[in-house]
Amino acid sequence: MECNLKLEHVGLISDLMQGKDLTKKLHDLMFSSSSSTTSYETKLVLLDKILVSYDKALTKLKWEANMEEEETKITVSKMVDSPCSFTNESPRGEVFDQEIKHKKVSKKRKTMDSWTKQMKVCSGTVLDGSLGDGYNWRKYGQKDILGAKFPRGYYRCTHRHAQGCLATKQVQKSDEESTYEITYKGIHTCIQASHAKKPFPSKSKICMEENKHHNHQKNKAQEEKIEQPHETTFNFGSEVEVKIDLETKEDIFPSFFFPSPSIGSETMIENHFTETFSPAFLSPSTSESNIFCLSPCNFGSSGLGLSVQTSESDITDIVSATTSVNNSPIANLDDLDLFFDNMDFDTDFPINSPEYFTL
Partner DNA sequence: GGTATTTGACCATG
Partner DNA sequence: CATGGTCAAATACC
Nearer to DNA (CB atom), residue 242 or residue 343: 242
Give φ, ψ of 213 to 5 degrees: -60, -45
Among 49, 73, 78, 225, binds DNA (CB under 7 A): 225
Q: Which is nearer to DNA, 48 or 144 (CB)?
A: 144
Q: How many angstroms separate the Cα of 56 from the Cα of each of 27, 134, 157, 203? A: 21, 31, 30, 40
* Nearest CB to DNA, comparing residues 36 and 219: 219
Edge-to-edge strand list for the sheet holding 152-157 = 137-143, 152-157, 168-173, 179-185, 116-122, 239-245
Is 272 near DNA (CB under 7 A)?
no
* 150 Ramachandran zone, left/alpha/beta (phi>0; psi -120 to 50): beta
Residue 184: phi and psi, rounded to 5, are: -95, 135
User: With binding defined as CB under 7 A, does residue 218 bind DNA?
Assistant: no
Q: 186, 117 in Cβ contact below 8 A?
A: no
Nearest distance from C-beta of residue 277 to DNA, angstroms: 20
Q: In this complex, which beta carbon is closest to DNA, that of residue 10 or of residue 105?
A: 105
Q: Which is nearer to DNA, 78 or 152 (CB)?
A: 152
Q: For the CB of residue 332, give the shortest distance to DNA in the complex, in Å.
A: 32
**Nearest distance from C-beta of residue 116 to DNA, angstroms:** 9
Rounded CA gap, 338 and 342, in Å? 6
- Least distance CB 148 / DNA (angstroms): 7
Residue 233's identity, in one-letter code, is: T
158 interacts with DNA by CB under 7 A: yes
Closest distance of CB 215 from DNA, Å: 16
We find the least distance from the C-beta atom of residue 140 to DNA, in angstroms, to be: 5
- In the complex, the smallest distance separating the C-beta of residue 255 from DNA, rounded to whole angstroms, is 17
> Minimum CB separation from DNA for residue 179, in Å?
18
The full DSSP string for 94-125 is: -B-------PPPPSS--SS-S-EEEEEEE-SS
Minimal distance, residue 182 CB to DNA, in Å? 13
Judged by CB under 7 A, the residue of 72, 98, 118, 170 near DNA is: 170
Beta bridge partners of 156: 138, 168
Contacts of 277 (CB under 8 A, 6+ apart): 187, 188, 254, 255, 257, 259, 269, 270
Using CB under 7 A as the binding rule, the residues of this chain from 38 to 57 that contact DNA are none
> For residues 226-265, which are near DNA according to CB under 7 A?
228, 230
Q: Is 220 in the site for DNA (CB under 7 A)?
A: no
- Cβ distance to DNA smaller for residue 148 or 321: 148
Q: CB-wise, 168 or 178, nearer to DNA?
A: 168
- Interface with DNA: number of residues (CB under 7 A): 30
- Enumerate residues 6+ apart whose C-beta is below 8 A from 116: 103, 183, 184, 185, 244, 245, 247, 358
Query: Based on CB atoms, which residue is closest to DNA, 84 or 157?
Result: 157
Stretch 121-150 residues interacting with DNA (CB under 7 A): 136-147
In the bound complex, what is the minimum distance in angstroms from residue 90's beta carbon to DNA?
Answer: 26
Cα–Cα distance for residue pair 346/12, rounded to 1 Å: 11
Q: Is 112 in the site for DNA (CB under 7 A)?
A: yes
- Which one, 17 or 226, has the nearer CB to DNA? 226
> In the window 70-109, what residues touch DNA (CB under 7 A)?
106-109
Cα–Cα distance measured from residue 291 to residue 295, given in angstroms and rounded to the nearest whole number: 6
- Please give the C-alpha separations between residue 102 and each of 118, 180, 331, in angstroms, as whole numbers: 9, 16, 34
For residues 88 and 86, give the distance between their C-alpha atoms in angstroms, rounded to a whole number.
6
Residue 199 engages DNA in binding (rule: CB under 7 A): no
Of 96, 123, 245, 126, the closest CA to residue 183 belongs to 245
Contact residues: DNA, CB under 7 A: 106-112, 136-147, 152, 154, 156, 158, 168, 170, 185, 221, 225, 228, 230
